[in-house]
Amino acid sequence: MMSRVLSALSLLLLHGLAFAGPAMDAGGAKQATNWHAIIMFLIFVAMTMGITYWAASRTKSTADFYTAGGGITGFQNGLAIAGDYMSAATLLGLTAMAYTQGYDAYIYMLAFFAGWPIILFLMAERLRNLGRFTFADITSYRLDQGKVRTMAAISSLVVVVFYLIAQMVGAGQLIKLLFGLDYNIAIFVVGILMMVYVTFGGMVATTWVQIIKACMLLFGGTVTLILAYSQFGFSFTDLLQKVEAVHKLGPKLMAPGSLLADPVTAISLGLGLMFGTAGLPHILMRFFTVGNAKEARKSVLYASGFVGFFFNVIFLMGLCAVIIVGQNPDFFEGGEVGKKLIGGGNMVAMHLAKAVGGNMLLGFLAAVAFATILAVVAGLALAGASAISHDIYARVIRKGQATEAEEIRVSRFATIGLGLLAIVLGIMFEKMNIAFMVGLAFGVAAAANFPVLILSMYWKGLSTRGALWGGYGGVISAVLFVLFSKSVWVDVLGNKAALFPYTQPALFAMPIAFILAYVMSKSDTSARAKAESDAFEDQYVRAQTGFGASGASH
Amino acid sequence: MSSVMYERMRVNPKFQELVRKRGSFAWTLAAIVLVLFYGFFLLVAFSPALLGQKIAEGSMWPIGYTIELCLFVFFWLTTVVYVRRANGEFDELTQQLIKEAQKEKL
């Protein structure tokens, strides 16, 4: 039970679906068509299409396509990272969790937030100084280009595909609920818009979609909170007194509940959250869109400011909703307080918007949720396409001999391929329990991408052999741990008992990757390993000073 | 060519100074964040009841919420502190280093 709750939580936290977990069963019923939301969403689409049209004229070189020519400022990139990081599940799932579980939601928000300072202190400037288009540029910097890039591209694609499936299925269900559109239509709308943004506008368009969406999300959330909080005279004391008086948990609402009672799963989840974020290809890629290490650092400063602010906003929104939504019979099925919420547990934020701002605010917030999904899938598609076109096609297959035009053409085809794949898989997986997919994506990111990446930047001794063992070992062990855990072995495959007792792979798969990389590098006495170790010296100076780093082309 | 530049920078004492200062600064801040974060998680795991109590008699502010709100603010402030020093002092040192390496005769 415990692990089920935790896996459900990790799922909704890790930007996946807004729908999972015992307390948040989405009704799944199709709602009446929501015209306010659809009109506002169409305005968003029109705006982003305009930007894509403008971006297309500025997307000429591979640098434009993958990294917007490195011309994004730290502030813009901070907003875009926040837009990439805060999903529909953050808005809907975490508000719902604050509403039902109180303080536990706040604890998870901190876990979700604390990775950012660490990324800043230990990774941001080295990423910027060493990388160009993909994080495989860094891992293969002084190692075997062909083999290490192939490995990094494979683990990137595993992360991207599982993450995309989770986003697509979540999107279909969410849109059905919020807009009253058919599931398959919703999947096609998301898939096609994503392909248009990325194929024509590349990173420039993707970045602006994420920036606009982040502003809408911050604005919509803040307005909702101000309107709701004003009903309590902006007094936290007043709010808590009223909330504790009516909530079924009473004063326990603001104490840690049962969610972190199992320390192994909790720590594994924490590790997966913190280091998974630091290994997500679409997040890492954002560090290459700024001109230099200075702007890369500023990106994290702004991103973590927005993310931290927004978590505090949605936690308070959830608490306000306990009174404003939870005590209003209009929002319950059959008009009876305490029954099932109309539309399911995830509708708390939407009901709150309606209660304090009417249909206008409800429509706005629903449009924000839709825009949020688009921004996240566009970032994923671009990261996946760059692994195919830059790493596999241009570097491994053509060995750096491909022209920029050829490489861009391949990345456009790759984007369309990924978009079609996402649509097909989104439809295939509609009825399946996909709770494991985001966990798997984060597990692979934390256990395969992160260890090899951090070792390649910090440890002179890492050799090609060690990187390959660590990388593949991390992918395989993360996948197997998830496969044998309850969320797949029991919930999807229908077996009686799980072979692996925990649902979170990070605590176990990460050490496997690190140990394999260490042992296989240490025992590698080949001449190549020696040369690779010697090449670390120059890489180290570049990582520290940024001299020779690919710069802004605009 | 750039290999020559890297060699010149590496032997410059300023490079050692940069690496030492920035490294210890970054790792100190990272250690502070990690210790506070996992320390807080230990509190959550082992004394949840304490975190649920109010900070003072008659106050509605719970201890856990108050600590965590401070952590949110504090963690963000650590990023401010790091970015100010790295973008100021450390970047200046880096620029000097690159200039000096470029000035040296081949």
Q: Is residue A37, in this structure, part of any structural domain at all?
A: yes
Residue A108: closest C-alpha in chain B:
B41
CA distance A417 to chain B (A): 39
Closest residue of chain A to B18, computed from CA coordinates: A544
Measured CA to CA, the distance from residue A511 to residue A516 in angstroms comes to: 8
Query: Can you give the pLDDT at residue A79?
Result: 96
**Within the 310-339 window of chain A, which residues sit less than 8 Å (CB to CB) from chain B?**
311-312
Structural domain contains residue A234: yes
Residue A7 lies in a domain: no
CA distance to partner chain A, nearest, from residue B103 (Å): 14
Tally C-beta pairs within 8 A across A and B.
145
State which amino acid sits at residue B37: F
Residue A224 is part of a domain; what is its CATH number?
Answer: 1.20.1730.10
CB proximity list for A63: less than 8 A, separation 6 or greater: A69, A70, A132, A133, A550, A553
**Model confidence at B105: pLDDT above 80:** no
Flag whether pLDDT at A188 surpasses 90: yes
Q: Say how many domains are in chain A.
A: 1
Q: Are A554 and A69 in contact (CB under 8 A)?
A: yes
Question: Is the confidence at residue A456, as pLDDT, over 80?
Answer: yes
Determine, for residues A110 and B37 on separate chains, whether the beta-carbon distance falls below 8 Å: yes
Q: CB distance A236–B62 less than 8 Å?
A: no
Share in percent of chain B as helix, strand, coil (round to 5): 85, 0, 15
Q: What is the 8-class DSSP label of residue A340?
A: P
Q: What is the pTM of this model?
A: 0.89
Which residues in chain B have their CB less than 8 angstroms from residue A546's CB? 94
> Tokens standing for A141?
């910097």
Q: Would the CB atoms of A255 and B76 count as touching at under 8 Å?
A: no
Q: B-contacting residues of A 108-147, CB under 8 Å?
A: 110-111, 113-114, 116-118, 120-122, 125
Task: Decide if A494 is inside a domain.
Answer: no
- Packed helices A436-444 and A263-277: angle between N→C axes, nearest 10 degrees: 60
Range of the domain at A419: 23-435
Is the Cα torsion angle A143, A478, A124, B35 positive or negative in sign? negative
Buried b (16+ CB within 10 A) or exposed e, A326-343: beeeebbeeeeeeeebbb
Residue A486 or B73, more confident = B73
**CB within 8 A of A383, min separation 6: which ones?**
A134, A156, A160, A281, A282, A285
> What's the pLDDT tens digit per position in A503-513?
788 899 999 99
The CA distance from A552 to the nearest CA of chain B, in Å, is 17
Chain A residue with CA closest to B19: the answer is: A544
Phi-psi region of A170 (alpha: psi -120 to 50; beta: other; left: phi over 0): alpha
Q: Give the residue extent of every domain in chain B.
A: 2-103
**Where residue A29 falls among pLDDT bands split at 50, 70, 90?**
low
- Render pLDDT for A306-335 as a digit per residue (tens, 0 to 9): 999 999 999 999 999 999 999 999 899 888
Q: Give domain status of residue A500, yes or no.
A: no
Could you tell me what percent of chain A has a pLDDT over 90?
A: 52
Interface test with A, best of B19, B37, B63, B95 (most A CBs within 10 A): B37
What would the mean pLDDT of B84-99 be, rounded to a whole number?
92
